[in-house]
Amino acid sequence: MKEPLPNVHVRAEVLVQALPHMQRYDQEIVVIKYGGHAMGDRAAAEDFAEDIVLLEQSGLKPIVVHGGGPQIGRMLGRLGIESEFKGGLRVTDEATVEVVEMVLAGSINKQIVGWISAEGGRAIGLCGKDGNMVRAKRAMRTILDPESKTEQSVDLGLVGEPEHVERGVLDAVLKAELIPVLAPVAFGADGQTYNVNADTFAGAIAGSLRAKRLLLLTDVPGVLDKEGKLIPELSVEDCRRLVADGTITGGMIPKIETCIYAIEQGVEAVVILDGKVGHAVLLELFTDYGAGTLIRRT
């Protein structure tokens, strides 16, 4: 039985409105960081997988980088390994990095590949170690001591930050019309395995490929002001000011650092948005309304 005609017209109008956006992103690379918190809702996860497949079938070249903080935390708890955070980043020792690699490059990575495959996509799961794609170095961080108001160095253990991205690996995967799903685990020049913050990893991937967009899907609507209201658009200068005055704090700081880095490397714009919203990726890329906080150079 056919649908009532008005519904057909509405759907046709939606497609017409989406067409200019599809043309704008045709053959462009879009890197999507899928946060561990955003994975918690199965329905939203299935919406996400549908979005990724539709992007690829619409002529875009999506690359998924995923986190897994909550899942890592639960596994560490089950194994009796205590978690510690400094400056919004997980402190990682030898025992922790083994669990990180098992959870990120193992169960979570293949789960996302499975979701995309179930929606008709052709995804391949990789981590930074594969093909020596991402070389990492030990991360050096400072945090502001709330009492003394001075910068203090923190030791994060086996936490790394990308030092080099071998884009040839990803170019080959994209040329084969596969959807890369990347876990943020990488080798260092010392042969050590490093736990890389997923936002930082995604920013390095996007920057090396000069991606059209980097989307950071998380569990908050975007960047919020001091009253808790969404800020729809920011410049790099605005971001630095909001970090300095304490509006942006905690785990949002590494996200903002990633946004600034990616833009300075040639990414046109970065968006921080709520991955638990149904079809958030399509709303951001294929509609006039957007979803979250858009960050540009100026």
Q: How far apart are CA 67 and CA 217, in angstroms?
A: 10
In a domain, 107, yes or no: yes
What's the DSSP call for residue 113? H
The amino acid at residue 25 is Y
In a domain, 35, yes or no: yes
18-27, 144-153, 162-171, 172-181: lowest mean pLDDT where? 144-153
What's the DSSP call for residue 224? B
Tokens coding 91: 């402190």
CA distance readout (Å), 147 to 143, 144, 253: 12, 9, 19
| Position with higher pLDDT, 134 vs 70 | 134
In a domain, 9, yes or no: no
* pLDDT grade for 219, boundaries at 50, 70 and 90: confident
pTM above threshold 0.85: yes
In a domain, 241, yes or no: yes
CATH number (domain holding residue 223): 3.40.1160.10
In a domain, 79, yes or no: yes
In a domain, 213, yes or no: yes
Q: Is 147 exposed, middle or buried (0-12, 13-18, 19+ CB in 10 A)?
A: exposed
What's the DSSP call for residue 212? S
Domain count, the chain: 1
CB-based contacts of 45, cutoff 8 Å, min separation 6:
38, 39, 115
Q: Which structural domain, as residue segments, surrounds residue 39?
A: 27-296
Q: What is the DSSP string of 143-210?
A: EE-TTT--EEEE--BSEEEEEEE-HHHHHHHHHTT-EEEEE-EEEETTS-EEEE-HHHHHHHHHHHTT
Mean pLDDT for 136-155 is 76
In a domain, 13, yes or no: no
In a domain, 10, yes or no: no
What stretch of H or E contains 293?
A: strand 293-296
* pLDDT grade for 91, boundaries at 50, 70 and 90: confident
Express each pLDDT in 22-75 by its tens digit.
777 789 999 999 986 667 677 888 889 999 999 999 999 999 999 988 889 899
Q: What's phi and psi for 279, nearest 5 deg?
A: 55, 40
* pLDDT grade for 202, boundaries at 50, 70 and 90: very high
CA distance readout (Å), 156 to 165, 201, 292: 22, 16, 30
Q: Which residues pair with 85 in a beta bridge?
A: 90
